[in-house]
Amino acid sequence: MLAGKRVLLLIGGGIAAYKCLELVRRLKERGIGVRAVMTQAAQKFVTPLSVGAITGERVFTDLFDLTAEHDIGHIRLSREADLVVVAPATADLLAKMAHGLADDLATTALLATDKPVLVAPAMNPRMWAHPATRRNMAQLRADGIATIGPNAGAMAERDEFGEGRMAEPAQILAAIEAHFAGADAGSLKGRRILVTSGPTHEPIDPVRYIANRSSGKQGHAIAAAARAAGAQVVLISGPAEVPDPQGVTVIHVESAREMMAAVEENLPVDAAVFAAAVADWRVADASEQKIKKGEGGVPLLQLVENPDILAAVARHPALRPRLVVGFAAETEHVVDHARAKLEKKGCDWIVANDVSPATGIMGGDVNTVHLVSAAGVEDWPSAAKGEVARHLVARIAAALTETA
Ligand code: C5P
């Protein structure tokens, strides 16, 4: 399955660059072709000669080499690969990617590519934690870029410890293998996919609302992954913390009732994934004016049930998608509750996760899920939310093909 695949490896200028030699060796052992591009800074850490000796191909370093050579341009270079891997992805490279800068061969190839991109960040922990890097990473994730690492550990600088070490070659290899095992770039071509994401805000009065801790990271990652797999995607999002994914039609809503209306307006679709954390209840009579303190004591909020969007779509008499996927956020008896929910909601799959505070899943970047269907329960390994999204999308593509 891996043999014959081609990886374009962009080596950035970090102390971890030497680990790329090991990564290339392991990729080659699996029959994966590797073509390498090195930034100028990377060449301070390893030489093009040693990288070329292992890839068995010429190493590219200069944007202008390519035009001089006539045989390969940077567009071709970036498109002949099945996957682009950036390792080590320095803070500088990530910033350039997030902003679409292209001032050398590596960044030009990144901007020119139409292929999936996996980055393995590596930098000093303070640089990794810096708000600018956080912003850039959020943007890259929203753009559908996959990430592996970084790991926590001792840094090259003495006395420095923290998150920022590049993932080990074995981990990067596993991420590459998972990628090739997962969604193919065109596996959802011609399909329409609807995704709900984020929390809902249920108004109490014009300035106050009831909400929950959903960030929208998982739902947005699913929308981005479905887009990367070639689908036409509608994302109906409550007030999420993450930016809109590119190439996706995003409809912003606030309340459960608005979300319900937007979902109905966008049917029919081939598959629908309900990742939003929809509020179960809303305030019966939201006040039109701001409720004043002190008048008539403490206000009593009367709650009423919100429409269940997932159940309504799964039981839709005319427009039920072929595949309806719900999420179940539970804090105990995760799989049992998910099984019960499958029945209750009438959906095909439930993606169940444990959101008790100790797991850090709610709002975090990693997710541990179980896929529950009539066929049984699958326990998936913990993975970045982007990775979980790609696996789910690969499964959706396979299910739609089976039932076509
Ligand atoms: O019942 P519970 O809220 O645990 O179900 C979670 C699943 O149902 C999620 O997929 C969520 O998006 C969906 N849901 C919905 N509308 C609601 C409540 C939940 O679509 N009002």
**Is there an atom of ligand 1 within 6 Å of 256 CB?**
yes
**Is there an atom of ligand 1 within 6 Å of 223 CB?**
no
Question: Residue 192 has what pLDDT?
Answer: 98
Q: Collect all residues with Cβ–Cβ distance below 8 Å to 4 and sequence separation of at least 6.
A: 31, 32, 33
The rounded Å distance from CA 308 to ligand 1 centre is 6
Residues 141 and 201: their CA atoms lie apart, in Å, by 24
**Is there an atom of ligand 1 within 6 Å of 276 CB?**
yes
Residues 49 and 380: their CA atoms lie apart, in Å, by 41
Bridge partners of residue 146, in order along the sequence:
118
Indicate which residue of 124, 136, 151, 212 is catalytic.
212
Shortest-distance Cα residue to atom 19 of ligand 1: 278
The rounded Å distance from CA 306 to ligand 1 centre is 10
Question: Residue 364 has what pLDDT?
Answer: 74
- In the predicted model, residues of the chain with pLDDT beneath 70 are 1, 65-72, 155-159, 181-185, 361, 363, 404
Report pLDDT digits (tens) over 39-57: 999 999 999 999 999 999 9
Report the chain's C-alpha Rg in angstroms: 23
Q: State the pTM of this model.
A: 0.63
Tell me whether residue 212 is one of the annotated catalytic residues: yes
Angle of helix 217-228 versus helix 385-402 axis, rounded to 10: 50
**Is there an atom of ligand 1 within 6 Å of 306 CB?**
yes
All domains of the chain, ordered by start, with CATH?
6-179 (3.40.50.1950), 185-402 (3.40.50.10300)
**Is there an atom of ligand 1 within 6 Å of 197 CB?**
no
The rounded Å distance from CA 193 to ligand 1 centre is 18
Shortest-distance Cα residue to atom 2 of ligand 1: 328
Copy the structure tokens of residue 274.
Answer: 């309900």
Question: Residue 383 has what pLDDT?
Answer: 79
**Is there an atom of ligand 1 within 6 Å of 328 CB?**
yes
Beta strands in 243-347 (DSSP E): 249-252, 271-274, 281-283, 303-305, 323-330
Question: Residue 342 has what pLDDT?
Answer: 94
Report pLDDT digits (tens) over 219-258: 999 999 999 888 999 999 999 998 898 889 999 999 999 9
Question: Residue 381 has what pLDDT?
Answer: 72
Question: Residue 186 has what pLDDT?
Answer: 80
Question: Residue 184 has what pLDDT?
Answer: 63
The dihedral region occupied by 149, where left means phi > 0, alpha psi between -120 and 50, and beta the remainder, is left
